[in-house]
Amino acid sequence: MSRMDRYKKIHEETSKKESLFARKQIINNDETGKSAHHKIDDYQEDRAATESPYKKRNKKSLPRFDITKRNNSQTNHNGRNNKEYGNSAEPKNTKTIHQVKSQKTKKPKKKHPVIRFIIGLLLFLLIYSGVAFAMGKMAASSDREISKQEAETFNGFTAADGANNILLLGSDSRKGETARADTIMVLQLDGPSKKPKLISFMRDTLVDIPGVGQNKINASYAYGGADLVRQTLSQNFGLECKYYAVVDFKSFEKVIDTLFPGGVAINAEKDMSTNLEVPIKKGQQDMDGLHLLQYARFRMDEEGDFGRVRRQQQVMNAIFSQMKSPLAIAKLPYAAGKVLGYTGTDLKTSFLVKNSFRILKGAGGIDRLTVPAKDTWEYGTTAEAGSVLVIDKAANKTAINNFLAK
């Protein structure tokens, strides 16, 4: 064999070995790839088996979580593969689910103690006021010293400004003077001014009494009771009243002593004794019910009825002012029950409760007006009524409207 043939043979054998080696390597690579795929499938089966308890739960009972899925090729910050990271991440998700469930089952917070205290205090005051009011009314009803005022027919109207004015009438049944009203006042609590206002009418004022004719205004009570007084005020002054209250002077004493056991602080204008049950000394003092009544009724001086009306307004202002004391406020429901028990009235309890804060507001001072107003009257005489006050009705009507509108 020549040298050329030997080299050719060696070259062919070498080529066969290389091709055989290449085929082995391809087979090995295929087997390696298959084993890798098997490993990935095994990992996915293991993960599915781990997650299956959570998937079997009711989906409605679990909240949704925004979890970002990781690719198989991703690794954590320490370089660990997904299989290692997945095994450590599962317990964290379980902890989060339990935290959310515990948050959902938390009990609602209790109300603030201050709110509970305020609600409890309001309920206590409401119950206390109702019981005290009822007890006061029962005490008045069982009092045999004072004759109970009979209820009258009173067709009251609400005023044009929306106020429900109260007509206050005073009489002295002890002397049989109930035929004529000794005191005529109109009290406004719920008017535009949002504060108590008091209008006093001089009893000698000459007016037109519906169905009767011209006479003193206090005669209207003798002719037709409280309702005729209401009609007289409406016709002559355009003043409407919704409710009425006829106060007996003896009951006035008892109510004052109940409401103010220590008396009412007032500054007496002068010494008074003529035709009074008890004398009054000039100066600042605390008056009980009897002394306060005598002071308000005195008119045996040069001022006559003018001085008496002024003192009546002074007394009303002193009563309102003294209501700001805690003791008076505590006794107010009981005294109010007594007032309604002693008084002939159609006043509703709901009206008094609704305007209780405005009554207390009068502690800062109550606005007062006397009719006839200044420079709107003159003395006169009539055959029916004797000495009277002849008034300018239009001027007094204007004065009343302006007073209530302030």
pLDDT tens, position by position, 31-47: 555 554 555 555 555 55
Among 5-9, 70-74, 237-241, which is the least confidently predicted range? Answer: 70-74
pLDDT band of residue 386 (cuts 50, 70, 90) is: very high
From 344, 404, 403, 396, select the one nearest 217 (Cα to Cα): 396
Q: Is the domain covering 127-405 a CATH 3.40.630.190 domain? A: yes
CA distance 103 to 31: 53
Work out the average pLDDT over 238-264: 88
Domain spans of the chain? Answer: 127-405
Most confident of 23-27, 157-161, 168-172: 157-161
**Residue 243 in contact with residue 345, Cβ under 8 Å?**
yes
pLDDT tens for each residue of 198-219: 999 999 999 999 999 999 999 9
Q: What percent of the chain has pLDDT over 90?
A: 38
The token duo for 136 is: 């006061």
pLDDT at 252 over 80: yes
- Angle formed by the axes of helices 219-237 and 393-405, nearest 10°: 80
CA distance 293 to 404: 27
CA distance 30 to 404: 109
Alpha helices in 154-304 (DSSP H): 219-237, 249-259, 289-297
Exposed, middle or buried, 289 (CB in 10 Å: 0-12/13-18/19+)?
buried
pTM of the model: 0.68
Work out the average pLDDT over 3-30: 59
The token duo for 32 is: 């390696």
Work out the average pLDDT over 16-33: 54
Work out the average pLDDT over 338-343: 82
pLDDT tens for each residue of 262-320: 899 999 999 999 889 999 999 999 999 999 999 998 988 888 889 999 999 999 889 88
pLDDT at 79 over 70: no
**Residue 172 in contact with residue 182, Cβ under 8 Å?**
yes
* DSSP-assigned letters across all residues of 113-134: HHHHHHHHHHHHHHHHHHHHHH
pLDDT tens for each residue of 81-119: 444 444 444 454 555 555 555 555 555 555 578 888 889
Q: Rounded to whole angstroms, what are the CA distances from 171 to 105, 161, 218, 232, 246?
A: 71, 30, 11, 18, 7
pLDDT of residue 19: 56
